[in-house]
Structure 1
Amino acid sequence: MDNIKVSVIVPVFNAGEYIGKTIDSIINQDFDSYEIIVVDDGSTDGSLEIIKKTLENSQIPNRIIHQKNSGVSVARNNAIDVSKGEYIVFVDADDYITSNHISTLYNGKSDFSLTLVVKKDGEKLTDPKPYTQKSIKTEDFIKMELNMQIVFNFFQIMYRASIIKENNIRFTPGIVYGEDIEFAHKALSYGDEIIINNEKTYYYVQHPESAIKTTEYKRFKIVEIFEGLADFYNKNNKPELANLITTSRIPKAIFGNMNFFFHNGYDFNEVMSNMKEQDLLTKLSKYEGDSKFKLKIRLFLLNPKIYYKMWMKLKNSID
C-alpha cells in the first residue's frame, strides 16, 4: 500500500497486560490506507513478544521499533520520524479505540480533527461533555483551553503530519509531566482550523497504579511546561496567548493541583513547602480572570492555613 493516509503511533513500556487489546482495536478499523507504528521502549515484561504476535498476521502495514528505555517522548519522536501518513494519530499502550476512530477523525482537508474521550475506571465510564461547535479556529481553541473553558487530551486529536514535520514539532525528552500538552499546543498554533466530532471513539483506561504515579508533586511541573509555551508564543508573535498563560492557565493549574493534593490527603505543610520552593504563590497571585475564582485565590494567599481548614471541612461535609 503506497498511499498511507494515517499513521497510528503507539509507544509501549511494560504494558503486556493491555497492549494486545490496544493493538487489536487499532487493527480492526473500518478505514483503509493506514499504518501502525509501535515503539517498544525497552519493555521487560514480554510486551514486545505480544506486539509481534498480535501484528504478525495483520494485513495492515505495520512497523515495530525496539529501543532501549528512553521514555515515551523519545518513543513517539522516533515513530514520527519514520511515519508515512498524511495525518498522525496517537494511542497509548493501555487504551483502546472504537472501530470508527480513524474514519471519524479523517476528512483529508482540515489541519486537525477531534473526537471525544471516554475515561474508563474499572466498570465506570465517564460521559464526556460534547463540544458546541462543529469547527473552531485553532487560535480560538487554544484561547479556550488557556482559560480552561474546554478540556482536551492530545490523543483525541488527528494531526496533519506536514505541520508536525515541517515545523519540527516533537515531544521534549525528559519531561516528567505535561509533554503531551506542550506538543498539542505547539502543533495547533501552526494550523488554521480544528474539526469537531462528538463521537465517543477513544477510551482512556485508568488504573490504580497510574493514579498513584500522577499524585506525586511532579504535577506542579506543568507550570514549567506552560512557562516554556509562553516563551514559544512570544517568539512566534502571539503575545495574547503568552499573557493568557501567565494570567490564567498557570494560576488555575497551580490552584487545581494544590486542591488535588489536599483532596488526596497530602500533608498541608509539605504541599506549601513545595509551592514556596517553586515560587508558585507569586505565580498564583498573577491571576486576572473570573472574580469568584480570583476571590478564592486571594483568600488562600491571605491565610493558606485557614483556607485549608475551611476547604477540608467543606470537602468532608460533601464526602
Structure 2
Amino acid sequence: MGDIKISVIIPVYNCEEYIGTTLKSVINQNFTDYEIIVIDDGSTDNSLNIIKSTLKGCGVRYKIIHQENAGVSVARNHGIEVSEGEYLVFVDGDDYVLENHLSELYVEGYDFNLTRFAKKHDNELFKSSYFNQSIISTDDFIRKELNMEILFNFFQLAYRADIIKGYGIRFTPGVVYGEDTEFALKALIFGSRIHISNEITYFYVQRSDSAIRTTEYRRFDIVPIFERLANFYRINGKNNLANLIVYTRIPKAIFGNMIYFFYSCYGFDEVMYVMKRKNLFSKLERFRGDLKSKIKIKLFLSNPRLYYKLWFKYKNSID
C-alpha cells in the first residue's frame, strides 16, 4: 500500500450541482499521504467533466473510474478494489467534510476510527451522538447501534483496509436502502477497538428532492437487511448479537419507521396494508427490549387503529 495512509472513496451519480464542493472539501485537508478515488456510476449530466476539471492539478493523488450505471454499492466496491490506503474512508458525492476530517480519522493502532457528523436539512442541523469515551470496543459499539442508543452512519468510520479486504466485506449490490449500515456492522465484528473523536467533521446534506415520498416504503427494506446481518453474525459465532437484531433492532426499526410514515402523512390503511404484505406484524411481536418500547408496541398490536387515533391526537406524547 506504499505511503498512502487513507483512500477516500467517493461514488457519484448525477451530482453536477454538488460534486465540485464535495471534491474541494476533500482536497483541502490539513492531512497528507492520501488518495481520492472517484467512481462515476454512469452519470448522464456534467458530473464527470466537473470531476476531471476539479481534480486536475489538485496536488492530491487521485483515480477517476467511469462505470456503466450499476448502483452505489457496486461503485463503492469498485473503489475498494483499486484502493491502496491503509484505511478506507467514504464520502458521498453531495456531502462535504471539514479540513480536519482525515486528520481526525487517522489514528494508528486502531481497527476503526470515528468522528461525528451533522445532518443538514434546510435550515435545521442534527448532530450525531456524543461519546463520553475516546476508545470503545467494537462489541459495545455494535450493541449501542442495535439498541438504537446512538445516531450512527457508516461514513463516520475509517476502516482498516486489511480487515475489509481480508474478510471480503463488500456492499450488497442492488440494495438501495441500508446497504451502508450492513457494511459497517459486518466489518466491525472483525476488529476490536474504535478510536473516537467527538469533532464534527462530516456534513450530510439531506436535499429536499430526497424526501421520504421519493423513496415510498423503502425504509421497511431495512428489515431483510438486518435479517441477512443476523444470519451473518450466526455464521461468525455472534449469536448474542444475532438475537439482539431479531428481538430488538428489527422490531424497533419496524415500529420507528411506521411512526415516521405517519408523521409524513401516509394514511393508516395504506401503512397497515404494506406492513401486512411485508409480514412485519409477526416480526414486531418478537420484541423483547426495553419496557417503554415494549408497552408502546403491545398497545399498538392490541388495537392498531385505536393506537393510531391516540397517536394522531397526542403526537408528541406517545410516539
Q: TM-score range by the shorter chain?
A: over 0.9
Per the alignment, residue 179 of structure 1 pairs with 179
User: d(CA) in 2 for partners of 1:316 and 1:108?
Assistant: 45
Say which SS state the counterpart of residue 126 (structure 1) adopts: strand
Per the alignment, residue 29 of structure 1 pairs with 29
User: d(CA) in 1 for partners of 2:214 and 2:141?
Assistant: 26
Compute the RMSD of aligned alpha carbons.
1.5
User: d(CA) in 1 for partners of 2:191 and 2:84?
Assistant: 20
Aligned pair in 2 of structure 1 residues 87, 213: CA closer, same or farther (>3 Å)? farther
Taking the TM superposition and a 5 Å limit, the aligned residue runs for 1:121-200 are 121-200=121-200
Per the alignment, residue 117 of structure 1 pairs with 117
What is the letter of the counterpart of residue 197 of structure 1? S
Measure how far apart 1:176 and its partner are.
2.0
Say which SS state the counterpart of residue 286 (structure 1) adopts: coil
Measure how far apart 1:150 and its partner are.
1.4
Say which SS state the counterpart of residue 84 (structure 1) adopts: coil
Measure how far apart 1:124 and its partner are.
2.7
Measure how far apart 1:253 and its partner are.
0.1
What is the letter of the counterpart of residue 61 of structure 1? R
User: d(CA) in 1 for partners of 2:214 and 2:179?
Assistant: 14
Taking the TM superposition and a 5 Å limit, the aligned residue runs for 1:83-94 are 83-94=83-94
Per the alignment, residue 288 of structure 1 pairs with 288
Taking the TM superposition and a 5 Å limit, the aligned residue runs for 1:58-77 are 58-77=58-77
2:128–2:152: 8 Å Cα contact kept in structure 1? no
User: d(CA) in 2 for partners of 1:201 and 1:149?
Assistant: 21
What is the letter of the counterpart of residue 7 of structure 2? S
Say which SS state the counterpart of residue 173 (structure 2) adopts: coil
Measure how far apart 1:40 and its partner are.
0.3
Taking the TM superposition and a 5 Å limit, the aligned residue runs for 1:258-277 are 258-277=258-277
What is the letter of the counterpart of residue 249 of structure 2? R
1:215–1:261: 8 Å Cα contact kept in structure 2? no
Measure how far apart 1:212 and its partner are.
3.7
Q: Aligned residues, how many? A: 318
User: d(CA) in 2 for partners of 1:135 and 1:285?
Assistant: 35
Measure how far apart 1:130 and its partner are.
1.2
Query: Runs (4+) of structure 1 moved beyond 6 Å?
Result: none
Per the alignment, residue 257 of structure 2 pairs with 257
User: d(CA) in 2 for partners of 1:215 and 1:179?
Assistant: 15
Per the alignment, residue 206 of structure 1 pairs with 206
2:129–2:151: 8 Å Cα contact kept in structure 1? no
What is the letter of the counterpart of residue 60 of structure 1? V
Measure how far apart 1:137 and its partner are.
0.6
Per the alignment, residue 238 of structure 1 pairs with 238
Per the alignment, residue 81 of structure 2 pairs with 81
Say which SS state the counterpart of residue 30 (structure 2) adopts: coil
Measure how far apart 1:145 and its partner are.
0.8
Residue by residue over 1:235-294, the C-alpha shift from the partner in whole angstroms, topping out at 9 and shown as x without a partner, is 101100000001100000000000000111101111111111111011001111111110
User: d(CA) in 2 for partners of 1:182 and 1:127?
Assistant: 22
Measure how far apart 1:316 and its partner are.
7.9
1:114–1:195: 8 Å Cα contact kept in structure 2? yes
What is the letter of the counterpart of residue 133 of structure 1? Q
What is the letter of the counterpart of residue 210 of structure 1? S
Q: 1:45 and 2:42 equivalent? A: no
Aligned pair in 2 of structure 1 residues 219, 147: CA closer, same or farther (>3 Å)? same
What is the letter of the counterpart of residue 109 of structure 2? K
Residue by residue over 1:105-152, the C-alpha shift from the partner in whole angstroms, topping out at 9 and shown as x without a partner, is 101210001001011123332244411111111011101111111121
What is the letter of the counterpart of residue 11 of structure 1? P
What is the letter of the counterpart of residue 51 of structure 1? I
What is the letter of the counterpart of residue 274 of structure 2? N
What is the letter of the counterpart of residue 217 of structure 1? Y
- Please report the TM-score for the alignment, with normalisation by the length of structure 2: 0.97
Stretches of structure 2 that go unaligned for 5 or more consecutive residues are none
Residue by residue over 1:19-66, the C-alpha shift from the partner in whole angstroms, topping out at 9 and shown as x without a partner, is 000000000001110000000000011000000000011110000000
Per the alignment, residue 15 of structure 2 pairs with 15
